[in-house]
Amino acid sequence: MATDIQKLIGTSEEDEDEEMEMDVKEEGDDDDEEDGEKHVDATSMIAGADGGMPTRSSNNNRFQQHHQIQEQVGTPGGGGVRRCRPIEEKEETKLRERQRRAITARILAGLRRHGNYNLRVRADINDVIAALAREAGWVVLPDGTTFPAKSQGPRPAGVNSVAVSSQMVSPQTPASHKGVTSGYRSSGELNACNMKGVFIPSSSPYDLPSSARSQNSSIVGDGGGQTVSHPLIGGSMDNVGDKQIVDMPLKLPERDYSNTACIPVYVMLPLGVINMKCEMVDPDGLLKQLRILKSVNVDGVMVDCWWGIVEGHAPGEYNWNGYKRLFQMVCELKLKLQVVMSFHECGGNVGDDVCIPLPHWVAEIGRSNPDIFFTDREGRRNPECLSWGIDKERVLRGRTAVEVYFDCMRSFRVEFDEYFKNGNISMIQVGLGPCGELRYPSFPVKHGWRYPGIGEFQCYDLYLLKSLRKAAEARGHSFWGRGPDNAGSYNSRPHETGFFCDGGDYDSYYGRFFLNWYSRVLVDHGDRVLSLAKLAFDGTCIAAKLSGLHWWYKTASHAAELTAGFYNPCNRDGYAAIVTMLKKHEATLNLACTELHMLDQHEDFQEALGDSEGLFWQVLNAAWDVCVPVSSENALPCHDHVSYKKILDSAKPLTDPDGRHLSSFTYLRLSPLLMERHNFMEFERFIKRMHGEAVGLQVYSN
């Protein structure tokens, strides 16, 4: 832990001493310039500070300060006598100080905007270090004393420890003699604090009600290893060395969501609800589950329409039979439908429990022309979806990829025309890449990727390389028509590569050119497909899905986002162009990462410097800034109260000044585990809160 916090801070004790010395010299230089190199006698400064007749205490203070000054003058390296430095050295020192302050300002701005750190306006580097240390689980006292929370001994689950000053005043000693002025905080103030390493000032028992004074004296210890109860806090207090630690089970009242905005809740149906013959797998069992969902006022269901099923055997021949029966069953129960046009394969990714490949005739074309698939630097093909390089290439039996997508969507629109006219289908989500998401398949599990690897660029098929070379020639640098050769492999870390490390090639002239082109291909693909989807489904809401690639978000390069096509390093907003494109087509953004805070407790998550919550709010605000509606879905299974509460807080931000909220939420997914009694009761309460209905308030331990 000590090495972790040293890495977090980035400086050693010797470096801090040098920095402090530099600050002292800088201030001294400013004084020299303003006062004309005048030296003021230290004793006269002390005498003038009182502004009146000296008292006994002030004389003692002067004697102590004068003694310290004499020690400094007589000590080598002391501050009493300064050497004369050349003007050039002073200017260099000032320049370094300005650069340091500028960096500090940018760090503070980033933490306030993306990290939700409660930093004061004129915060300095000490505040930043303290905030990061508390985030890492350390305890930081106001005087700068810092120690790891683990040194306090094991704590019960759900209990936060609060460092309390060991200087407690006994009832026999007047508080004024100890200089203690602050009182105990109320329970509301304690709950409002960040309970990770919060310092509570010591207090006099005379600040307490008389009924509590006698009880308060019982918590005053001799610094031994005793544990005593606190009458006001309701926890217990341990003595660790000369510090006293309070175990505080936080009893926080549940937020009341009654009379808040109603957010529709949909439930994603199982992946294999329709088999490869386009038939329903278990219609009777599904009907029972749908009735149960309807009984708790679920608004509707979401279902994948798989390209590999409906056009699986021959181009232009569509089979919608299984979906017709499914849609009829859903609409008879007065449930709405959200339909996903899934132009990718199912299987091989996290959470996939069935295998639905691309159409058979597409696979045949791929065997003779593998460049229709995304390709990595080693030449490995990914048949999960078609490369965006063939969007306008007639390589699919005389059709381009975009034409194939449009023909399928138009067939669906014609086949289910009555459901569109009756308003049964509330939204069409258009698949734009792997897992139906607008991104490159940069981290395929089938190629050995494991979390939290940075992934690899997927631009090495013939068609995308041709586009890259064309862009490089147009820029006037034909030798830029290649992918990076120092970007590592799927499971590399950013600091292990020359491209993604701090100050790496990602921020060079070539790096910026390549990443601009790479991300522009992504935006252009979404623009082309959504323009045709808007034409096919005129009058119906369309949507595009983005995933939250949160790992390495706290690094400068954001490597995992870069390989996936999101040009979002720390000095650039990589989602502005995407939401602008969605705004053009009046499309909704479906963002999947509302409950990824669960990963924060994972050991690998800490090493990956991820920030799922910061990423979520960046994308959400980027969309809301241009008035793009945002829906969401959970990326991980969730059945507990804490996960649902996090989703609710994200769906209905309490502090948003404009009262904005998500347009809908989709729960992934319908399963026997969800139908278990305890889980389903929690799910029912979640639906009521999303709908803004009154639910009995609960008190829970955080």
For the question of residue 633 being annotated catalytic, the response is yes
Give 678 or 700, the one with higher predicted confidence: 678
What is the reported pLDDT for 128? 78
pLDDT in tens, 272-303: 999 999 999 999 999 999 999 999 999 999 99
**What count of other Cβ atoms lies within 10 Å of the Cβ of residue 159?**
16
Identify the CATH number of the domain in which residue 475 sits: 3.20.20.80
Residue 47 lies in a domain: no
Measured between alpha carbons, how far is 38 from 41 in angstroms, rounded to an integer?
Answer: 10
Domain range for 105: 92-139
The residue with tokens 């544990």 is: 227
Look at residue 205 and tell me if it is in a domain: no
What's the total number of domains in the chain?
Answer: 2
Residue 103 domain flag? yes
Residue 372 falls inside a structural domain? yes
Domain annotation covers residue 333: yes
- Residue 87, in any domain of the structure: no
Is position 538 within any domain?
yes
Among 79, 109, 139, give the residue marking a domain's end: 139
Question: What is the pTM (predicted TM-score) of this model?
Answer: 0.67
| 69 vs 71: CA distance, rounded Å | 5
| pLDDT score at 41 | 42
486: tokens are 């120092």
Question: Beta 630-633 vs 588-592: how paired, if at all?
Answer: parallel
How, if at all, do strands 159-164 and 146-148 pair? Answer: unpaired
Q: In the prediction, which pLDDT does 44 show?
A: 40
Bridge partners, 381 (sequence order):
375
pLDDT at 119: 67
Three-class DSSP labels, 367-383: HHCHHHEEECCCCCEEE
Kindly state whether residue 215 falls inside one of the protein's structural domains.
no
Q: Is 59 left (phi over 0), alpha (psi -120 to 50) or beta?
A: alpha
Q: Determine the average pLDDT of the residues in 411-423.
A: 97
pLDDT tens profile 353-386: 789 999 999 999 999 999 999 999 999 999 999 9
Q: What is the pLDDT of residue 174?
A: 36
Contact present, 358 and 383 (Cβ < 8 Å) = yes
Mean pLDDT of the chain: 78
Q: Check 311, 345, 437, 595 and give the catalytic one.
A: 437
Reduce the DSSP state of residue 315 to 3 states and report it: coil
What is the C-alpha R_g of the chain?
Answer: 32
pLDDT value at residue 155: 39
> What percent of the chain is modeled with pLDDT above 70?
68
Of 101, 120, 139, the residue that ends a domain is 139
Residues 134, 272 within the same domain: no
Local confidence band at 83 (pLDDT 50, 70, 90 cut-offs): low
